């Protein structure tokens, strides 16, 4: 999983504000098909929203989704999860940095 600083998560949440969810998790939960769709969406967009359908524990589901997709959990707003995973070869979203941050 990718570790982000708080100010970087805030920046990504700001960028995600206008986005619509590209993947929806139904009653079946985090199936292989859902994970494949999340993986493809992260590959295509780097920053995505995933809509959870009535989860028992939305924060646990969000953490599991981030772990299984090798992404960073930026936040949970209602039943919507914001995930980020930069493209390893050519990242399109530049994260802010601060002087004391390690490279």
CB atoms within 10 A of CB 71: 24
Range of the domain at 39: 6-84
Q: What does the pLDDT average to over 22-47?
A: 93
pLDDT at residue 63 in the model: 95
Residue matched to tokens 């139904």: 26
Q: What is the distance between the alpha carbons of residues 40 and 34, in angstroms, rounded to a whole number?
A: 10
Residue 93, in any domain of the structure: no
Residue 30, in any domain of the structure: yes
Residue 1, in any domain of the structure: no
CB atoms within 10 A of CB 33: 10
CATH number of domain containing 43:
3.30.110.60
Whether residue 72 contacts residue 84, with contact meaning beta carbons closer than 8 Å, is answered with yes
pTM above 0.85, yes or no: yes
| Residue pLDDT, tens place only, 70-100 | 999 999 999 999 999 999 899 999 999 887 6
Q: What are phi and psi of 84, to 5 degrees?
A: -135, 135
Q: What is the distance between the alpha carbons of residues 97 and 101, in angstroms, rounded to a whole number?
A: 7
pLDDT at residue 99 in the model: 74
pLDDT at residue 28 in the model: 84
pLDDT at residue 102 in the model: 62
Total domains present in the chain: 1
Residue 43, in any domain of the structure: yes
């Amino acid at each position: 999983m990718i570790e982000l600083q708080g100010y970087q998560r805030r920046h990504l949440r700001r960028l995600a504000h206008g986005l619509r969810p590209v993947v929806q998790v139904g009653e079946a939960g985090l199936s292989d098909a859902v994970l494949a769709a999340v993986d493809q969406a992260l590959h295509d967009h780097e920053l995505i929203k995933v809509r959870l359908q009535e989860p028992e524990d939305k924060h646990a589901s969000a953490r599991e989704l981030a772990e299984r997709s090798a992404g960073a959990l930026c936040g949970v707003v209602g039943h919507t999860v914001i995930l980020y995973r930069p493209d390893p070869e050519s990242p399109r979203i530049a994260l802010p940095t601060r002087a004391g941050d390690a490279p």
